[in-house]
Amino acid sequence: MQNLDREIRIWAVLEHEYVLRLYGTVKEFGPFRALVSPWMPNGTLDSYLNRTSVTLTMMGRLRLLQQIAEGLKYLHDNSVIHGDLTSNNVLVAADGSPRLADFGISNIMVQSNPAFSYHTGAVRWVAPELLDPPEGQPIQYATNSSDIYAFGGIMLQVLYGKQPYWWLKTAIHVVSARFKHLEPIDSTIEIQPNHLDFMRRCWSADTKVRPSVDGVLNYLQVALSKETSSG
């Protein structure tokens, strides 16, 4: 609870157009406090992409990714690790812009329970060093670099409509694929080579190869410029 109090205090002072605001907490909803935030009428990024799969242009998809990256940069610039960046933890406002939500919780779970294993939804997105830490190494916490790994999965879903390891339907099969070091993609979809190269950098097992959030934003700016000129 002390760790949660700390995270709530941090979240309460964060203010960015692509980060979900925290209005406060209430205690009347059971044994734990509820966190109160603005209502996002377009729901999760996952459901939003499903509804707009036909109408959302490549330009719109790249801009959406840019906004998500801008929110992530704000967190990183304020020494906040998201730690659970998935398409269900990005909400979408009425105007179609994203809000990063539910950040900081995974490190609380690791601190309070060293045996914590990432929940079944997140196993598709979590960086390999968190899922399978080197033997004899101390407990692995989420980092800026592990957020970038997860962003590669967000990029895959926003641009191509597929979650990481989309062809595997159960968590146990995803875990098995992860331990076999299989990529989060297969050959059934065609990905632009420049997008594929960049996603693979995000997914590198070597954290030093992964770009910074500034590198992500630079890549997306170039991609948007190319899309504008080709249009």
Candidates 167, 169, 164, 228; CA nearest to 202 is: 164
Give whole-number Cα distances, 229 to 59, 129, 194, 218, in Å: 11, 39, 16, 17
Catalytic residue check, 84: yes
Contact 82, 148 (CB under 8 A): no
Residues 6+ positions from 170 with CB-CB distance below 8 Å: none
Residues 6+ positions from 6 with CB-CB distance below 8 Å: none
Q: Residue 88 and residue 46: Cα distance in Å, rounded?
A: 6
Give whole-number Cα distances, 191 to 62, 116, 160, 181, 195, in Å: 14, 34, 8, 20, 7
Between helix 58-77 and helix 144-160 the angle, nearest 10°, is 170
Catalytic residue among 84, 197, 206, 214: 84
Instruction: Specify the length of the chain in residues.
Output: 231
Distance of CA 194 to the CA centre of its chain: 20
Catalytic residues: 84
